[in-house]
Amino acid sequence: MGYYDWREFEARIGDRSIRYASKPGLPDWDQVDHDARLLAEAIEVKQGDRLIDLRCGRGIVPAFTALRRADVTALDDSIVAIEATRRTLAMNGVVASGERASNYDVAVLTLPKGRDSLRHLIHEAAGMLRPGGRVYLAGANRAGVKSAIDDLESIFGSAQVIAYGKGHRVAVTTRLETLVLADDDGFVETEVEVRGARWRIVTGPGVFARDQLDDGTRRLIEAMEFRAGESLLDLGCGCGIVGLVAAKMGNRVTCVDASAAAVEATRRTLSIAGLVGVEVVWSDCASAVADRRFDVVATNPPFHQGVGTDTAVARQFVRDAAEVLRPGGRLLWVANRFLRYEREMSSPFSDVRVIDEDGRFRVFEAVKSV
């Protein structure tokens, strides 16, 4: 099946069968979602309870609780997860809101990658709960759920493990009347140095390389060269530093990312640089700009989904880059040396060569066949 092809699955949860949608681009997309199963079976909801799922994933928990007549809101940072949940809800004949509110009875979250992201989500959940409302947290032992439960306890005062199985566990805590919460949105401004200049950037919860400019992106930026006025797609833009530098070098830039936090971070990065006219789009790979054509695509593609290595998104980046580039257009690509993408590049691109490398990374330039 192709990257953009959706598949339907079915899971038995408690006394119900839940149909759900999934595809590449989601962590372990074709495997049983143990976190969602444990959560759905452990959550106590009654008709009319207001529930918010902050990492709705494939939509299993929103669908299951909506079938129990809860009033459900489903959110996620990933545009792929949002579409999966929309499809899952439709399959099960239920509806959910996608708009944040307050005074929820129940908040649900699964373990994100990165402890800063987790703490931000816990504070966000607490801020939207009524006093006496409950937060349910699920995750895998190998992903650090035990430490995550410690974080839950440090913010709420206590937490109880109520379900576990197959290396996963679920904890619950209750919001007290008084609770000290973070008063910021998790986005921070920092300064990085690359190409002999200093650049102010904004990063946010879950955005790749939150605390510094990662070495792969640095090598990509140092190696980038352009002809005057070229159009560039920053594919998987993260904090927006590649698009920012390219725009300052005189290029017409569009930035895309599947992460809502990355899209917001990029917008803020461009704003503090005083750049206007750079479009930033929430997109599954390059699907949102598939009808456009560019002179250059620049990317440091992801190769993780959840805690495992998964190159499905990166390989789709190659295919999408070939689709949106004009004949003779160039793909600028950085990757760890142990990841081999040359085979994918060799078909749509007539000339693939290494233009920079060190002991960890290679930067490729690939020219689209005319």
CATH no. for residue 203?
Answer: 3.40.50.150
Written as six digits, the tokens of 222 are: 């140092």
Extract the residue ranges of the chain whose pLDDT is less than 70: 180, 182-183, 304-309
DSSP state for residue 43 in the 8-state scheme: -
Q: Does 182 reside within a domain? A: no
Mapping DSSP to helix (H, G, I), strand (E, B) and coil, where does residue 52 land?
A: strand
Written as six digits, the tokens of 87 are: 């499809």
Chosen domain end from 115, 146, 174: 174
* Same-domain pairing of 170 and 203: no
Chosen domain end from 142, 174, 206: 174
* Start-end of H helices in 68-141: 79-91, 115-128
Chosen domain end from 120, 148, 174: 174
- What is the separation, in whole angstroms, between the first and last Cα of the chain? 28
d(CA 91, CA 6): 13
* Same-domain pairing of 145 and 202: no
* Same-domain pairing of 198 and 324: yes
Q: Among residues of the chain, what percentage have pLDDT more than 90? A: 78
d(CA 217, CA 222): 9
* Same-domain pairing of 243 and 303: yes
d(CA 289, CA 271): 22
User: How many structural domains compose the chain?
Assistant: 2
| DSSP-derived pairing of the beta strands 168-174 and 188-194 | unpaired
The per-residue pLDDT for 303 is: 73
* Same-domain pairing of 146 and 208: no
* Same-domain pairing of 143 and 213: no
Q: Does 179 reside within a domain? A: no
Buried b (16+ CB within 10 A) or exposed e, 131-142: eebbbbbbbbee
Domain of residue 64, residue span: 7-174
* Same-domain pairing of 304 and 333: yes
* Same-domain pairing of 162 and 199: no
Q: Does 284 reside within a domain? A: yes
* Same-domain pairing of 153 and 219: no
Q: Residue for token digits 């966000």?
A: 124
Q: Does 126 reside within a domain? A: yes
Q: Does 346 reside within a domain? A: yes
* Same-domain pairing of 170 and 194: no
Half-sphere exposure of 330 (CA within 13 A, CB side): 17
Cα distances (angstroms) measured from residue 45 to each of 106, 313, 359? 8, 36, 53
* Same-domain pairing of 24 and 57: yes
The per-residue pLDDT for 208 is: 80
Q: Does 183 reside within a domain? A: no
C-alpha dihedral over 96, 265, 35, 146, to 10 degrees? -140
Q: What residues form DSSP beta bridges with 295?
A: none
In terms of C-beta density within 10 A (0-12 exposed, 13-18 middle, 19 or more buried), how is residue 106 classed? buried
DSSP state for residue 111 in the 8-state scheme: P
Identify which of 58, 50, 60, 134 has the alpha carbon closest to the alpha carbon of residue 97: 50
Q: Does 233 reside within a domain? A: yes
Q: Does 1 reside within a domain? A: no
Question: Strands (DSSP E) along the chain, which ranges?
Answer: 7-13, 16-22, 50-53, 71-74, 104-110, 129-140, 160-165, 168-174, 188-194, 197-203, 231-235, 252-257, 279-282, 294-299, 304-305, 308-309, 325-336, 349-357, 361-368
* Same-domain pairing of 201 and 167: no
